[in-house]
Amino acid sequence: MKKHDKILSIIFLLIMIVVAVFWVISTNTWTKMGTISAIVCFVLFVLLVLRSIPTLTAYILSNKPDEVMNRNRVGNRKQAWFYIIVWVLVSRILLLIIAYAMLIIKNGYSGGLFEKLMETWHISGIDAASYLGIAENGYVTTGDAKYHIVFFPFFPDLIRVAWYFTQNYLAAGFIVSNVCALVAALFAYELAMLDMRQRDAMRVVKYIFIFPAAFFFLIPMTESLFLALSLMCIYFVRQKQWLLGCFCGALAAYTRSPGILLAVPIAIEFTRDLVQSYRLIDKRAWALKFISAVACLAIIPLGLLTYFYINYSVTGNPFQFSIYQKEHWSQDFYLFFDTARYQMEYAVNKFLAGESSSFLGLWLPNLICIFSVLIIMLKGAKQLRPSYTAYFIVYFAFVVGATWLMSAPRYFSVAFPLAFATVLLTKDKSKDVAFTILSIVGSVLYLAVFVIGYPVY
């Protein structure tokens, strides 16, 4: 390990030791299973970061230009796009049919597929109802609808646009989500083709759409829009279209709060590009390039700042959303490994109490997701593009750090580095087949507990 890597690793370890000591001092309740869960989560995260540091520094400081794989191994783009479009459309139809069949198995036949659409997908019981409400009525300050301010505005804005063509907000919501899902699939392929063979790029798309919570891409939720914008952001930055890439990043931050974290991989890509060009161009040109990079990077927070302004214009407080989140949902930000602790404690308590619905719908899927994504990224960190790994690290700490984490599988369905890492870990056909079967089985089971009404949000 090089000297600068040792220094960075030591600094990181010292920070994590301080954080761990703070956690020990501030934690009031302890259980055996909860403590073990927290420690395992902590260790896996630390190992992931330590493994990523040498790869990241070598990547940033390297003078070797990227090997442009999409030029060396050109695939048939038209054919690939055709297969992707068919795949997305067929998978949407299959999801509708499978979920409807599950509802019939549960309740018996009581209406057609479209008549039971809201019941099948619990539109009124998940965040979809809030987004549709914002699209129809905007943000308000009275009644239960005042809490809608915690939901970001870009998705409802697009639903409102689609409404002019459908005259139905539910239909508009489905259209926006599925169009964005298609865009996400195409950009996932194009981004993967910058580094992979066509077969592997197609597998990236496959895994994104068969991970257990991928069915949320179908319904009026922000997942497909956020994923599409994230992939577009990174793709355009990789293509040196910095302004366009950062604009997509700003829109992602205007869609969901973790969008601001896209500044991390973008900053890494910018830094690498600046380091590579430092000796190749004159100092004046380099200085202009540096200023351009900083200016483009500054665009990304504008999405979040615009959301703050909307909070201010509606309620008089730019941070009113955080007050409602804390008061109404007990939602705050804390240490990600403490989340593993309380998730395990709830899981054990619900299992012992025989409360299968919350155990199978909420706590067990959350725990499986938290540990499985860490293991996948830990194993794939040395092969994955370092900026992608860095994005996952900050995304994991941010998302899992919620004090009332309800939807870990849904949140990680939009963490695109997971699909890239999975492809790198399943180059062997037997591993690919095994992981594909495992993902599909997990998807069917998770969809089943969602349809039958378990607390899947």
Query: What is the per-residue burial (b if ≥16 Cβ within 10 Å, else e) of 59-72?
Result: bbeeeeeeeebbee
* pLDDT tops 90 at residue 273: yes
pLDDT for 268:
97
Q: Which residues make beta-bridge pairs with 333?
A: 402
Contacts of 201 (CB under 8 A, 6+ apart): 75, 80, 189, 192, 193
Average pLDDT over residues 85-100: 96
* pLDDT-above-70 percentage for the chain: 97
Contacts of 132 (CB under 8 A, 6+ apart): 123, 156, 159, 169, 170, 173, 220
pLDDT for 111:
87
pLDDT for 63:
72
Q: What are the backbone angles phi and psi of residue 402, rounded to the nearest 5°?
A: -65, 140
CB 8 within 8 A of CB 54: no
* pLDDT tops 60 at residue 289: yes
pLDDT for 142:
92
Lowest mean pLDDT among 142-146, 301-305, 396-400: 142-146
pLDDT confidence of 70, banded at 50, 70, 90? very low
CA atoms within 13 A on the CB side of 79: 5
Q: Considering all CA atoms of the chain, what is the largest pairwise distance in Å, rounded to the nearest integer?
A: 73
pLDDT for 74:
53
pLDDT for 252:
98
Q: What is the mean pLDDT of the chain?
A: 94
Q: Which residues make beta-bridge pairs with 402?
A: 333
CB 59 within 8 A of CB 26: no
Average pLDDT over residues 284-310: 96
pLDDT tens per residue across span 413-454:
999 999 999 999 999 999 999 999 999 999 999 999 999 999
Distance CA 192, CA 127 (A): 31
pLDDT confidence of 279, banded at 50, 70, 90? confident
Contacts of 140 (CB under 8 A, 6+ apart): 146, 148, 314
Distance CA 283, CA 288 (A): 9
pLDDT confidence of 69, banded at 50, 70, 90? very low
* pLDDT tops 50 at residue 71: no
pLDDT tens per residue across span 204-232:
999 999 999 999 999 999 999 999 999 99
pLDDT tens per residue across span 119-167:
999 999 999 999 999 999 999 999 999 999 999 999 999 999 999 999 9
CB 416 within 8 A of CB 230: yes
* pLDDT tops 80 at residue 81: yes
Cβ atoms within 10 Å of 240's Cβ, excluding its own:
10
CA atoms within 13 A on the CB side of 47: 14
Query: What is the per-residue burial (b if ≥16 Cβ within 10 Å, else e) of 423-444?
Result: bbbbeeeeebeebbeebeebbe
pLDDT confidence of 195, banded at 50, 70, 90? very high
pLDDT for 72:
43
Amino acid identity, position 72: N
Average pLDDT over residues 347-362: 95
pLDDT for 65:
65
Lowest mean pLDDT among 30-39, 104-113, 348-357, 383-392: 104-113
Instruction: Give residue 371's Cα distance to chain centre.
Output: 16
